[in-house]
């Protein structure tokens, strides 16, 4: 039985190599008694800027664990209970056709991986390109403004998270998170993501990891089809019968719909098929860029730039006088603001970081919550609300995919900026200096201003007049939910399993991946493997 040791503290100047030595001291044993040693968790304690610490939890295997734990008389030392998983029972129904997964973001990717591992030979349908070809299309868009509406920052292998920061933080407590992290590592992600307090991969590495997982799915008997768009679903007597992909009918009795939060034409198709959906809250706002050094200095004080410290991040929340949540979202240390449109003649921003997070700027979406009271109770109302402000931003930016940009001081004054200050915008393909008040709801703009005032009290300099704002950020989460029952099945169609962020059941890479696993398990409990 393993021994868990919590609260092993290292000073910032102490090397990680002495961690095992400190663990032995707590256990009161010599290092040769340890058979296996693993870091479970690492977090940074920067509350005292003049004395930054690293806090670790570790797992140790040795002989006579019970005796050692008892002898240590340390509240941070305890036997770790091994939780034996309940035996998984596969269903006994026979599948007449391979299960199909639409969408290859985190939910679809991990649903496909698990089904492939268990012998279900899934067929994955992805409207966008492979991550290699998709990268070329995205980079061409950022360089020249030439837009591919089927393969872009939102659509394609890996989903929207592939061109972001690869953040793997989540608030959900689910043992499936361990499976996701381990499979990322198996695909080539850095091993430390398993224990880091705020793990991330970075878009440069994540693209290779996604490709590796795809190859494993294929090697295990699955199929992956790119440039393949779901156009329709055929329903007979309330049950899924087949799907239409690129004008071709594919028989299907089990379909995982992992479409992502930007598949608006698919939402419209489902709505026209009377698939039960409901509007849900989300948030809109702007991308804010600060110098990364400002964030580092606020977080780490004199230790800013220390080789043991990563680029600092932040998480900010404020409740405005209008009772709206104002908060930071998808914070990208040392990152870039990127063009993330998924429809023609619209502007959408997102943030992206590479693994090293060594860019000069920090950026985050600063957004304001909106609800059906703002946009209406039709399931597609939130989507149309997003479109409206994305079109305004496109027009304001010059109708060439340049984004409207404004300095924070001018945003407060309601004046278009005349020049850039101390922070250079990172958005590509380009930007135009405009007044962002003209492409945001007034209530959102006012709440943002109130939020920046509040956040400046928490991070000195956050409200500096030279802070760069880029509009608009609208894709914080899906604007609707495809409602499902306790079997994770659509309320309207048997055999249709909505999953992930686009279905309204997740937010971010980890929670979407976990939801995909849950839905895959649901299929496995009902149907038997194909092999």
Q: Where in the chain are the domains?
A: 3-79, 100-278+482-526, 281-473
Residues 367 and 386: their CA atoms lie apart, in Å, by 13
Taking the alpha carbons at both ends of the chain, their separation in whole angstroms is: 36
According to CATH, the topology of domain 3-79 is Alpha-Beta Plaits (3.30.70)
Note the Cα 525 to chain centre separation in Å. 28
CA distance to 116, 121, 346, 380, per residue, from 530 (Å):
10, 7, 44, 38
> Which listed CATH number (3.50.50.60, 1.10.8.60, 3.30.530.20, 3.20.80.10) goes with 100-278+482-526?
3.50.50.60
159: left (phi over 0), alpha (psi -120 to 50) or beta: left
- What's the burial of 143, exposed, middle or buried (CB within 10 Å: 0-12/13-18/19+)? exposed
* Per-residue model confidence as pLDDT tens for the chain (531 residues): 899 999 999 999 999 999 999 999 999 999 999 999 999 999 999 999 999 999 999 999 998 999 999 999 899 999 987 665 667 799 999 999 999 999 999 999 999 999 999 999 999 999 999 999 999 999 999 999 999 999 999 999 999 999 988 889 887 788 899 999 999 999 999 999 999 989 999 999 999 999 999 999 999 999 999 999 999 999 999 999 999 999 999 999 999 999 999 999 999 999 999 999 999 999 999 999 999 999 999 999 999 999 999 999 999 999 999 899 999 999 999 999 999 999 999 999 999 999 999 999 999 999 999 999 999 999 999 999 999 999 999 999 999 999 999 999 999 999 999 999 999 999 999 999 999 999 999 999 999 999 999 999 999 999 999 999 999 999 999 999 999 999 999 999 999 999 999 999 999 999 999 999 999 999 999 999 997
Residues 6+ apart with CB under 8 A from 181: 168, 193, 194, 199
Residues 277 and 267: their CA atoms lie apart, in Å, by 9
Same topology, domains 3-79 and 100-278+482-526? Answer is no
122: left (phi over 0), alpha (psi -120 to 50) or beta: beta
């Amino acid at each position: 039985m393993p021994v868990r040791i919590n609260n092993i503290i290292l000073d910032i100047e102490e090397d990680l190599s002495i961690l095992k030595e400190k663990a032995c001291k707590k256990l009161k044993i010599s290092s040769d008694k340890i058979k296996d040693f693993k870091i479970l968790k690492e977090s940074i304690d920067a509350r005292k800027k003049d004395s930054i610490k690293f806090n670790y939890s570790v797992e140790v295997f040795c002989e006579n664990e019970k005796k050692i734990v008892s002898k240590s008389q340390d509240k941070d030392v305890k036997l770790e209970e091994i939780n034996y998983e309940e035996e998984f029972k596969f269903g006994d129904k026979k599948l007449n056709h391979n299960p199909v997964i639409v969408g290859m973001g985190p939910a679809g990717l991990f649903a496909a991986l698990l089904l492939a591992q268990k012998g279900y030979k899934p067929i994955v349908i992805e409207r966008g390109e492979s991550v290699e070809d998709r990268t070329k299309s995205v980079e061409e868009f950022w360089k020249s403004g030439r837009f591919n509406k089927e393969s872009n920052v939102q659509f394609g292998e890996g989903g929207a998270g592939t061109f972001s920061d690869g953040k793997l933080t989540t608030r959900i407590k689910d043992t499936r998170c361990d499976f996701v992290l381990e499979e990322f590592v198996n695909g080539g992600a850095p091993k430390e993501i398993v224990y880091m307090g705020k793990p991330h991969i970075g878009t440069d590495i994540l693209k290779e990891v996604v490709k590796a997982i795809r190859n494993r799915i294929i090697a295990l008997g699955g199929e992956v089809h790119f440039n393949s768009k779901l156009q329709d679903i055929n329903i007979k007597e309330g049950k899924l019968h087949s799907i239409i992909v690129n004008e071709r009918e594919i028989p299907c009795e089990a379909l995982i719909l992992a479409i992502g939060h930007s598949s608006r034409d698919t939402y419209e198709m489902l709505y026209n098929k009377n698939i039960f959906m409901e509007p849900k809250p989300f948030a809109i706002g702007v991308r804010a860029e600060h110098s990364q050094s400002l964030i580092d200095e606020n977080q780490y004080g004199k230790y800013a730039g220390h080789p043991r410290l990563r680029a600092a991040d932040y998480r900010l929340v404020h409740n405005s006088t209008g009772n709206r949540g104002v908060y930071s979202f998808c914070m990208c240390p040392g990152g870039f603001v990127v063009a993330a449109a998924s429809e023609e003649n619209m502007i959408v921003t997102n943030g992206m970081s590479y693994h090293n997070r060594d860019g000069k700027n920090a950026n985050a979406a600063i957004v304001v919550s909106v609800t059906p009271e703002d946009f209406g109770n039709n399931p597609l109302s939130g989507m149309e609300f997003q479109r409206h402000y994305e079109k305004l931003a496109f027009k304001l930016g010059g109708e060439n995919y340049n984004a409207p940009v404004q300095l924070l001081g001018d945003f407060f004054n309601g004046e278009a900026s005349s020049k850039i200050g101390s922070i250079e915008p990172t958005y590509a393909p380009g930007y135009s200096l405009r007044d962002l008040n003209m492409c945001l709801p007034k209530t959102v703009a006012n709440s943002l201003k109130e939020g920046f005032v509040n956040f400046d009290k928490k991070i000195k300099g956050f409200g500096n007049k030279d802070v760069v704002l880029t509009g608009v950020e609208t894709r914080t989460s899906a604007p609707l939910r495809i409602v499902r029952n306790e079997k994770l099945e659509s309320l309207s169609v048997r055999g249709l399993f909505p999953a992930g962020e686009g279905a309204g059941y997740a937010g971010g890479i980890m929670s979407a991946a976990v939801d995909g696993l849950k839905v895959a398990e649901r299929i496995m409990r009902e149907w038997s493997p194909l092999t």
